[in-house]
Structure 1
């Protein structure tokens, strides 16, 4: 899953990035409201951590603009302890939750998991199942028929994306945007490499699940009988 941090305190943003990466999230961080809005409008994020007090554009304006443009990505506001009116405004404009600074890592992670559940996503702590395979994104383990093996992070993220989309075709462009970011210089052959890795691991596990290529369109995960 890909998260966006919009926080002008650079050291805090860096600390949050490291914490979230340790929990196997992909993370982008920006430090002003306009950049936050530009990134949010891409629609590639599963959740946004949004500070209220930001340069160029405040967090409430970012949130209000997002919602007016139909961006429904869950948003958790990062607020100062006494900003009661801002918390109320944020919730009224469509924030999913807020966390008052300073906050504990445990509280933040719990609120992220809760917001993702409300959205209907499978959070990393839960096992994601498709056909006869089971992916635990929290520990990067793929299991099938009593056997399991460890994936690297990008393999896990790619398989999680394909599993969450079930029988829908996912293009290389969608994969790159989701796994590396919309402004990434990653090329299509990077996707092909990770698809190849995953295919070999599914064969190793004797899984009845295959990653099929739809020529000129993308990839689809299918369970065979």
Structure 2
């Protein structure tokens, strides 16, 4: 799922981006209302997470203009404004859901997936399938021919990231950000250990996890 995250608090934006990418989202970020509209127009997302208090245009102005232009991606509003009137105003302006701060990231993820399911989107709300491998949208578990693969959480995160671009190299640095998001106690070489373990668990499926020196890793279809 391609997600546009519009949040002007730099620390919160970075934390949310890391957390959501770890959950398998492709996150584009912006901290300014006017620029958010440009991003939305240029690369239409599957969903938008929109803060109300923004420089330039505030969140409601962004939302109203986007809807007026026919930009219909589902929107979840995040804000510290928690009154019923604010919620009603946001929903009447065109928001699909409303989550007051502080919020739980698991709840945000669940609401995003539910919104895209209702819209019939093609992101993680549907299943991702390739060469017999399938990612369950709700749990994040990975199956091969409908049998669950026994993977550690970091192995599953690595596999989900690679399944987003099967047959294409994903940089080690990018995988490190996804698999070890928020963990400052490990070095980038730790990705190699997770890849080694995942490679052995994929062997019975015929899918190969290939290391490309200087480029990263990719999934290769069975011969």
Do both proteins adopt the same fold according to a TM-score greater than 0.5, normalized to the shorter chain? yes
Q: What secondary structure is seen at the aligned counterpart in 1 of 2:165?
A: helix
**What does 1:72-221 correspond to in 2, within 5 Å?**
72-121=72-121, 124=124, 127-129=127-129, 133-136=132-135, 139=140, 141=142, 143-144=144-145, 152=159, 155-158=162-165, 200-201=220-221, 203-204=222-223
The alpha carbon displacement at 1:117 in A equals 1.3
TM-score, with normalisation over the residues of structure 1?
0.63
Give the conservation status (yes or no) of the 8 Å contact 1:32–1:54: yes
> What's the TM-score, normalizing by structure 2?
0.63
Distance 1:45 1:125 in 2: 14
How far is the alpha carbon of 1:135 from its aligned partner? 2.1
**Secondary structure at the residue paired with 1:39?**
helix
Distance change (3 Å), C-alpha of 1:153 and 1:146: closer
Q: Deviation per CA, 1:139-178, whole angstroms, max 9, x where unpaired?
A: 584634869797755542235xxxxxxxxxxxxxxxxxxx
Report the Cα offset of residue 19 of structure 1.
1.0
Equivalent residue, structure 1, for 2:53: 53
Structure 1 residue aligned with 2:8 = 8
- How many Å apart are 1:30 and its aligned residue? 0.9
CA RMSD of aligned residues (A): 3.1
Tell me the SS of whatever aligns to 1:3.
strand
8 Å CA contact 1:8, 1:54 repeated in 2 = yes
Rate the CA distance shift 1:104–1:147 in 2: closer, same or farther, 3 A: closer
Cα distance, 1:60–1:143 mapped onto 2, change above 3 Å: same
Determine the C-alpha separation between the residues in 1 that align with 2:102 and 2:32: 20
Q: Report the counterpart of residue 68 of structure 2 in structure 1.
A: 68
Q: Distance in 2 between matches of 1:113 and 1:158?
A: 20
Give yes or no for contact 1:134–1:142 (8 Å, CA) kept in 2: yes
Paired residues, number: 167
- Checking the alignment, whether the CA contact within 8 Å between 1:46 and 1:73 is kept in structure 2 is yes
CA distance in 2, matches of 1:112, 1:25: 10
**Which sections of structure 1, spanning at least 5 residues, go unmatched?**
160-192, 205-225
Shift of 1:82: 2.9
State the alpha-carbon separation in 2 of the partners of residues 146 and 79 from structure 1.
Answer: 41
**Corresponding residue SS for 2:13:** helix
Give structure 2 stretches of 5+ with no counterpart.
167-214
